[in-house]
Structure 1
Amino acid sequence: MMEQKNLNWAVLGTGVIANEMACALQKMDKKLYAVGNRTYDKAVAFAEKYGVEKVYDTIDEMFFDDKVDIIYITSPHNTHYDFMKRALENGKHLFVEKSITLNSRELDEMIALAKEKDLILGEAMTIWHMPLYKELWCLVESGELGCVQMITVNFGSFKEYNMKNRFFNMDLAGGAMLDIGVYALSIVRSFMSEAPTDVLSQWRPSPTGSDEQATILLKNGASEMATVALSMHSKQPKRAMISCEKGYIEIMEFPRADKAVIVDAESGDRREISAGDTANALYYEMQDMETAVLTGDDSILKLSYSKDVMDIMTRLRKEWNMKYPNEIW
């Protein structure tokens, strides 16, 4: 039986995700306990908006507050590693926005530190938590559609060439891979029975040297294959297709999907599956995080999948020699 305890959440950052997180807590009939931000005035305004009890003068205060159970890190991903290390060293469970770290070295260190401190660490990857995917994984695992054969994923955004913003700025760890590729590779990993071992790619840099565009081919030991097409400067649908022996699953707007279409390979008959609600994406994430903390079982967070995805992204960037300033691989 799950221990009943009111867990106090603190959020680091006050951007879009932090606002969604505060709203998600309200849906859980809870209030956000505390907020910290590099700009104090923004933290104060955020606290006033959501009735947050505690505002920290400095971010470091958050890590030493005994009342904090879980910290949700929503700051830019190039800042995650340092914040994660300080939080874990001070006994805080951590939920971290994607991409959870910059590379595999950072993530492996943080996984080891969380284990050493007996703390829960999870990536706020919507795909791990949306009810639709939990139903679809069960459907695929049941064998009703036969074995997974091929997965195809597209994700493209048209971002103007503003080389100072986070999409292209190397100092902010810009590029398609860590911003949108992490979603595409996560859905691929979630429907593969084991991690890909064969990975091939092509890429095109932006004027800053960030990865503007890439195509990726993946294959695992079970001969399941995938293709991924990413772009930060050309629009594509957020579309995923999981092709099995007896039919295929098509998912539009896949990062926060709440419906999918299943097409029978022989008859062509189509049926729609609906589960959850796109608008509640962070609510599902945070419910799963609380379950993991209260039970001590982090399997629901799929951190091993986050590691597999990070290993692929790091491998590709190394092949491209696309290293961020001051990054240590």
Structure 2
Amino acid sequence: MTNYNWGMIGTGWIAHEMADALNRENGSIYAVADVNADMLKKFAIEKHIAKTYTDPDALIADPNVDVIYIATPHTYHYPYIKKALNAGKHVLAEKAITVNAKQFDDVQQLAKHKGLILSEGLTLFHMPVYQQVKQLIASGKLGDIHLVQVNFGSLKDFDPKNRFFNKDLAGGALLDIGGYATAFARTFLDAQPNVTLTTVKYFETGVDEQSGIILKNADQQLAVMALSLRAKQPKRGVISGTKGYVEIDDYPRATTAKVTYTPDAHTTTSEVLSAGDQADALVYEVRDFQRYIDEGHDDGQLLLSHDVSHIMDSVRNAWGMRFPFD
């Protein structure tokens, strides 16, 4: 597999994890950019990155950069993605990849036009145990999938100025943690939902603090999601079929899945599927992304991100919630 020169934009906590993964997988990182010079210098020293930019546009323009990784607040993703794609760079952007479906469709078409790989940083697309779960479902051992349930509850500090609660920075539970839940739901539904039922509780800044969401597709499959930024709950997903169900804890970086077979109303047996290591979650992401470049396709990952983006738009439309930049 080819090693690529990665340029990182942003030096927050997830960028620290990604830098560690890139150093483990590739041995080095080509360059990093951040508008905060002090944070940039500290990050570059800690992660052994020789080349630094206080102007992200200059990093994007560097002819030696092959891949741009974007770890900024959500509102900056779209302009940086467009600039990077127009500069001929492959792009891996943290979730949510864009703040709305219109932006997503724009960059999706641009990546296709340019013949470049664009991908969203959702770890659950890359954890090895999910391949086992998908193979199990494809085998028919769970019967027909009827219902997906998924929760994600976080407990953020009560700070209206924090980006999690800042409407100008596309804050709120849906875009911050809901991408994981929505991606899990869409992964195990056979078709894109065409019905959205939802209710929301707003934070004082006007972003969604918590919500309940029900999705249904034309195959009559249901997904039920619960999200919160101010009430901790387990990150848990359940996939239910006519012959059994799968329970997956810590699903964004899952390494195990408990399978319970229910061939009738009275008999159950179970097994546990196991693969991967949580500590390697971003290594799997980097490895897959570089394979996508080598092979010239992304295994349909961007199509899943497309559906997730459109689902989240349908949820916000049902709430009537708009960001200043929508």
Q: Tell me the TM-score normalised to structure 1 length.
A: 0.95
Q: How much has 1:215 moved relative to structure 2?
A: 0.6
Write the deviation string for residues 259-301 of structure 1: whole angstroms up to 9, x where unpaired: 110011143222111111111110011111000111111225x
Q: How much has 1:224 moved relative to structure 2?
A: 1.2
- Aligned position for 1:190: 187
- Aligned position for 1:236: 233
Residues 96-107 of structure 1 correspond to what in structure 2 (within 5 A)?
Answer: 96-107=93-104
In 1, the alpha carbon distance for the partners of 2:42 and 2:120 equals 27
- Aligned position for 2:304: 305
Q: How much has 1:208 moved relative to structure 2?
A: 0.9
**Which piece of structure 1 moves more, 48-57 or 246-255?**
48-57
Match of 1:78 among 64, 75, 78: 75
- Aligned position for 1:268: 268
**Which piece of structure 1 moves more, 222-231 or 263-272?**
263-272
Residues 1-329 of structure 1 correspond to what in structure 2 (within 5 A)?
Answer: 4-266=1-263, 267-299=267-299, 302-325=301-324, 327-328=325-326
User: Do the aligned partners of residues 37 and 28 (structure 1) sit closer, same or farther apart at CA in structure 2, a change above 3 Å counting?
Assistant: same
Q: How many pairs does the alignment contain?
A: 323
Write the deviation string for residues 71-112 of structure 1: whole angstroms up to 9, x where unpaired: 110111111011111111111100000000000000000011
SS in 1 for 2:235: strand
SS in 2 for 1:251: strand
CA contact (8 A) 2:142 2:242 kept: yes
Return 5+ residue gaps in structure 2 as ranges. Answer: none
SS in 1 for 2:165: coil
In 1, the alpha carbon distance for the partners of 2:315 and 2:245 equals 28
SS in 2 for 1:26: helix
In 2, the alpha carbon distance for the partners of 1:186 and 1:204 equals 22
Give identity over the alignment, percent: 44
User: Do the aligned partners of residues 104 and 29 (structure 1) sit closer, same or farther apart at CA in structure 2, a change above 3 Å counting?
Assistant: closer
The runs of at least 4 aligned residues of structure 1 exceeding 3 Å deviation read none
Write the deviation string for residues 241-269 of structure 1: whole angstroms up to 9, x where unpaired: 00111111001111111111001114322
Write the deviation string for residues 34-89 of structure 1: whole angstroms up to 9, x where unpaired: 00011122112111111112111311111111110001101111110111111111
CA contact (8 A) 2:154 2:229 kept: yes
In 2, the alpha carbon distance for the partners of 1:270 and 1:122 equals 35
CA contact (8 A) 1:9 1:68 kept: yes
SS in 2 for 1:47: helix
SS in 2 for 1:299: coil
SS in 1 for 2:304: helix
**Which piece of structure 1 moves more, 105-114 or 138-147?**
138-147
**Which piece of structure 1 moves more, 228-237 or 98-107?**
228-237
In 2, the alpha carbon distance for the partners of 1:5 and 1:180 equals 32
Q: How much has 1:161 moved relative to structure 2?
A: 2.4
In 1, the alpha carbon distance for the partners of 2:55 and 2:202 equals 37
SS in 1 for 2:220: coil
Q: Tell me the TM-score normalised to structure 2 length.
A: 0.96
SS in 1 for 2:177: helix
Q: Quick one: which amino acid aligns to residue 8 of structure 1?
A: N
Q: Quick one: which amino acid aligns to residue 259 of structure 1?
A: T
In 2, the alpha carbon distance for the partners of 1:194 and 1:135 equals 20
Q: How much has 1:29 moved relative to structure 2?
A: 4.1
Q: How much has 1:124 moved relative to structure 2?
A: 0.7
Return 5+ residue gaps in structure 1 as ranges. Answer: none
In 2, the alpha carbon distance for the partners of 1:162 and 1:176 equals 14
Q: Quick one: which amino acid aligns to residue 299 of structure 1?
A: D
Q: How much has 1:173 moved relative to structure 2?
A: 1.0
Q: How much has 1:223 moved relative to structure 2?
A: 1.5
Q: How much has 1:304 moved relative to structure 2?
A: 0.6
